[in-house]
Amino acid sequence: GESVGLHLPTLSVQEGDNSIINCAYSNSASDYFIWYKQESGKGPQFIIDIRSNMDKRQGQRVTVLLNKTVKHLSLQIAATQPGDSAVYFCAENGSGNTGKLIFGQGTTLQVKP
């Protein structure tokens, strides 16, 4: 079935270091991917997206890399701050021309001061 997964459930980094959160997706037909951040008790918040015709996209302090060959997605956060502590989800649009997103299980990012 369709699924999006993450390699590590928890990532702990020192404040100021760079963070890399990984995601493996299974559906090669997916052509749109999004990273969301979810803080405790809140809804997911959009961070950055990428379409399959791109390998890399940069935002403010964040970069998303897409490797379609191995169906791998990563989120890089530069100079990680305490406010970055949250659960991070990758999501894909799955097969077909559907309007839904399929989410992975999430990686908890803990930033140590």
Partner 1 sequence: DTGVSQDPRHKITKRGQNVTFRCDPISEHNRLYWYRQTLGQGPEFLTYFQNEAQLEKSRLLSDRFSAERPKGSFSTLEIQRTEQGDSAMYLCASSFSIGQGIDGELFFGEGSRLTVL
Q: How far is the CB of 61 from partner 1 (least distance, A)?
A: 18
Q: How far is the CB of 79 from partner 1 (least distance, A)?
A: 24
**Nearer Cβ to partner 1, position 2 or 61?**
2
Nearest to 92 by CA among 57, 59, 66: 66
**Nearer Cβ to partner 1, position 12 or 95?**
95
Binding site for partner 1 (CB under 8 A): 4, 31-32, 34, 36, 41-46, 49, 89, 91, 93, 97-106
The 3-class SS string of 57-101 reads EECCCEEEEEECCCCEEEEEECCCCHHHCEEEEEEECCCCCCCCC
**Nearer Cβ to partner 1, position 53 or 98?**
98
Residue indicated by tokens 């590590």: 8
Q: How far is the CB of 25 from partner 1 (least distance, A)?
A: 12
